Amino acid sequence: MPSAIFPDPRFRSPTAQAGVSDFRDENVYSAVVLQTGGSGVTKIFVSPAGQSIPSLAGATVATPAQLHQQKYSDLTTNLAKAGELGSALGEAEVRAIGVVIEQAAYAVNAGGGSGAAGSARAFGATQFEVADILSKVSLEFKVGGKRQIIGAINMFPAYGGASGSVATTGNAVASGIATNGWPGTLRRLKFPIAIARNDQIECAIATGNGVALAFNTITAGTDGQPSLCWVNLHASISGDVR
């Protein structure tokens, strides 16, 4: 029996084996799309796979053109039930929290899918967008309506993503890769957050003091350099045995 302390698992599915649980290391994650002009608050972990991904975007900015940024899939959430872990996951003890910002890729050669050599894709954050997000965006995580932790995005370092730096003079524009801190660092919790399978969970993603995101690599009339922002709860899970 692991030393982790989980919430009471009595509210099991009738198809589960009574009194038996399996224990595993798991990711519980959800995402939001950040776009230029975005301001205010939006919530994640409140919609399951198959539903639309919420966005923070300016009033005149279009819906993201990229399919992976439109609806939740295994890429962007593993919740099967809106706002709850449900029987698909079970009880959880969150040990760390990390935030990853989708990174823009750069064309190595002309015609490499992004135009001229050195040019960035029209989605994902460049160094400029990463810096803008880290200086303006916060998160607040709640369980059952009670705040568990709050802070600027930069207080929850990335759990993954490309690292290092890339430079090119292919189109006379400086380019590179930036992340939310050193990948794999995460915000380790000294006191884990316990979540029952029927607890309502939510994470509010907000810009500070009404300020708006101002992305650099934006062409008028487009979808505003949409960039996914994942929040991952690194957790111990006590799931049902069937």
The Cα–Cα gap between 106 and 159 comes to 22
Question: Which residues sit opposite 203 in a β-bridge?
Answer: 44, 141
Q: What is the pLDDT of residues 36-56, one digit of tens each?
A: 999 999 999 999 999 999 999
Q: Does the residue 82 lie in any domain?
A: yes
Does the residue 133 lie in any domain?
A: yes
φ, ψ of residue 132 to 5 degrees: the values are -65, -45
- Give mean pLDDT, residues 181-188: 91
Can you give the residue range of the structural domain that contains 107?
27-240
In a domain, 99, yes or no: yes
pTM of the complete model? 0.87
Q: How many domains does the chain have?
A: 1
The structure tokens listed for 72 are 């939740």
CA distance 73 to 77: 6
- In the numeric block, the tokens 């607040």 are attached to 140
Burial of 143 (0-12, 13-18, 19+ CB in 10 A): buried
Q: Dump pLDDT digits (tens) for 195-232.
A: 998 999 999 999 999 899 999 877 777 899 999 999 99
Is 69 a member of any domain?
yes
Q: Is residue 196 part of a domain?
A: yes
**In this predicted structure, what is the pLDDT of residue 23?**
82
Q: Is residue 192 part of a domain?
A: yes
pLDDT recorded at residue 2: 45
Query: What value does the mean pLDDT of the chain take?
Result: 87
Separation of alpha carbons 149 and 189, rounded Å: 10
Q: Is residue 19 part of a domain?
A: no
- Please check whether residue 185 lies inside any domain of the structure: yes
Per-residue pLDDT tens for 135-175? 999 999 999 999 999 999 999 999 988 876 665 555 555 56
